[in-house]
Amino acid sequence: MKVHNFFAGPAILPQEVLVEASSSALRYQNGLSLMEMSHRSKPIADVFEEAESLIAELLGIGDEHKVLFLTGGASSQFYMIPMNILGADQTAGYIDTGTWSTKAIKEAKLFGKVEVLASSKDKNFTYIPKDYLIPDHLRYLHITSNNTIVGTQMSKFDKVNVPLVCDMSSDIFSRAFDASQFDVIYAGAQKNLGPSGVTLAIVKKDVVGKMERDIPTMLNYETHIKKDSMFNTPPTFPVYVCLLTLRWLKANGGVAGMEKRNQAKADLLYGEIDRNPLFYGTTAVEDRSKMNVCFLLNDDQHNDAFLAMATEANCVGIKGHRSVGGFRASTYNAMDINSVQVLVDVMKRFEEKYG
């Protein structure tokens, strides 16, 4: 019986990726498991080189950017970014759209000045702020493209007059966009790229190496740029699984193919939420996430009954984040539309029973 994995992360991976990764965990080359191989060996070097190349190809970035495979999750980038590119007497601008940007703001204040240019906190982060002014004096502007907890997403990225930094942990590779306009893109892998344990950072080379402060070796982007993510032992197996996912992405139409795939899933699920009188969406319609669909029951006394019905249909991971409650269906790239249809059918049956 197929299990429909709606967890927000670590999240669903393509079945083909899981099969090949399982095989390589036992035997990759020369009779060794990939997990047993030195990170200095040619097979592992080839894995990193191909993964970096595929990321550049899929996102359309050139030699001005460097693809890095780091550790510490996206949360480590909250402080690595200002540590590396924000001087103590400089100011960074942040758009506060939820938990993760709030945490990033807190870390940035340790290294320089911070201006929160706009926030949606006044409505529990259920919308994306718009029409805010971006001062020319900013060292960079930091945005979070998708918010897993509340289910909002920036529908587009406008050109800005300052360097642009973006946390794309939960929607990278899910749609086409101009990656060249960003000075730093970072993402935890465990949504649309691979398993937990590796963090992707795409850094424009000319933004680093300009700080007067001393930066710890392992927290200095230059360290990892110069050593091609091999300064110390990197998370080799997670990067390999990322490579398999990247191959799958390319074979399935790249980011343009994913965008079409994700739009169809979002239309199906949001369509049922809007049609079904027992449910309602929690965010502004124009800012709805195509990755994390958050919704509530009009009568929350039936929450347990709906979860039980979903579990019976092998839909797992739809309980909302503990800070907001309700339900959240994460429909990342690897999820097939048939799994979304199963959840929609559960919602229809629930309406028949309780409507």
User: If we measure between CA atoms, which residue out of 251, 223, 197, 220 comes closest to residue 72?
Assistant: 197
User: In this predicted structure, what is the pLDDT of residue 322?
Assistant: 85
Tell me the HSE value of 248 on the side-chain side, using a 13 A CA sphere: 24
User: In this predicted structure, what is the pLDDT of residue 323?
Assistant: 83
What residues does 91 pair with on adjacent strands?
113
Residues 162, 182: contact at Cβ < 8 Å? no
pTM exceeding 0.95: yes
Q: Exposed (0-12), middle (13-18) or buried (19+): which is 12, by Cβ within 10 Å?
A: buried
Domain ranges of the chain: 15-251, 254-354
pLDDT in tens, 296-351: 999 999 999 999 999 999 999 999 988 888 999 999 999 999 999 999 999 999 99
How far CA 177 is from CA of 63, 155, 158, 168, in Å, comes to: 18, 10, 10, 12
User: In this predicted structure, what is the pLDDT of residue 82?
Assistant: 98
Residue range 15-251, CATH number = 3.40.640.10
User: In this predicted structure, what is the pLDDT of residue 303?
Assistant: 97
| Torsional class of 309: left (φ above 0), alpha (ψ -120 to 50), beta (otherwise) | alpha
CA 261 to chain centre: 17
Q: Which residues of the chain have pLDDT under 50?
A: none
Pick the CATH number of 254-354 from 3.50.50.60, 3.30.360.10, 3.90.1150.10, 3.10.129.10: 3.90.1150.10
CA–CA dist 207, 105 (Å, integer): 20
User: In this predicted structure, what is the pLDDT of residue 95?
Assistant: 98
User: In this predicted structure, what is the pLDDT of residue 330?
Assistant: 98
Any idea which residues carry the catalytic annotation?
100, 167, 191
